[in-house]
């Protein structure tokens, strides 16, 4: 099982992941985005497997964007994948917006990339905006 777990505190987040794509942390004060990728096997793969835990500041106006691999790995008519950099660039360009608008910008990015093709994988997006 692949999973992301985020525990939100007043001013910080604790985050761990098992076999999931990166999470994107938009910093409102700089407009920059950190890609948080914790490499690891799916849960239950190996007995005794350990998983990393990171903790970082989460300020008012910051966003965390969680995605499945369906968006960055979406293939267009020429069988090119959208890519993780395009997703990160979209998060950076839209991070100042509300959570729903950020999500919609990512969905629009996928739709524009795919054109009239139907994606072969799910596209799951969760945006958490600290207000």
Which residue in 45, 16, 88 sits closest to 3, CA to CA? 16
Using DSSP, state whether 108 is helix, strand or coil.
Answer: helix
Q: Binning pLDDT at 50, 70 and 90, where does residue 127 land? A: very high
| pLDDT tens profile 3-51 | 999 999 999 999 999 889 999 999 999 999 999 999 888 877 788 788 8
CA distance 99 to 61: 10
The arrangement of strands across the sheet holding 23-26 comes to 33-36, 23-26, 63-67, 125-129
What is the model's pTM?
A: 0.93
Yes or no: domain 3-129 corresponds to CATH 3.40.50.1700: no
pLDDT at 44: 77
Phi and psi for 54 in degrees, rounded to 5? -115, 155
pLDDT at 113: 97
Phi and psi for 3 in degrees, rounded to 5? -155, 145
DSSP 58: -
Mean residue pLDDT of the chain comes to: 94
């Amino acid at each position: 099982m692949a999973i992301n777990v985020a525990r939100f505190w007043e001013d910080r987040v604790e985050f761990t992941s098992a076999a999931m794509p990166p999470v994107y942390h938009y910093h409102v004060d700089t407009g920059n985005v950190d890609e948080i990728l914790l490499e690891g096997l799916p849960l239950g793969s190996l007995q005794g497997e350990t998983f990393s835990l990171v903790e970082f500041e989460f300020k008012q106006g910051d966003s965390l964007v969680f995605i499945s691999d369906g968006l960055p790995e979406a293939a267009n008519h020429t069988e090119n994948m959208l890519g993780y950099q395009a997703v990160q660039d979209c998060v950076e360009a839209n991070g100042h917006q509300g959570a729903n608008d950020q999500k919609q910008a990512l969905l629009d990015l996928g739709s524009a990339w795919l054109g009239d093709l139907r994606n072969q994988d799910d596209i799951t997006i969760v945006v958490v905006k600290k207000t």
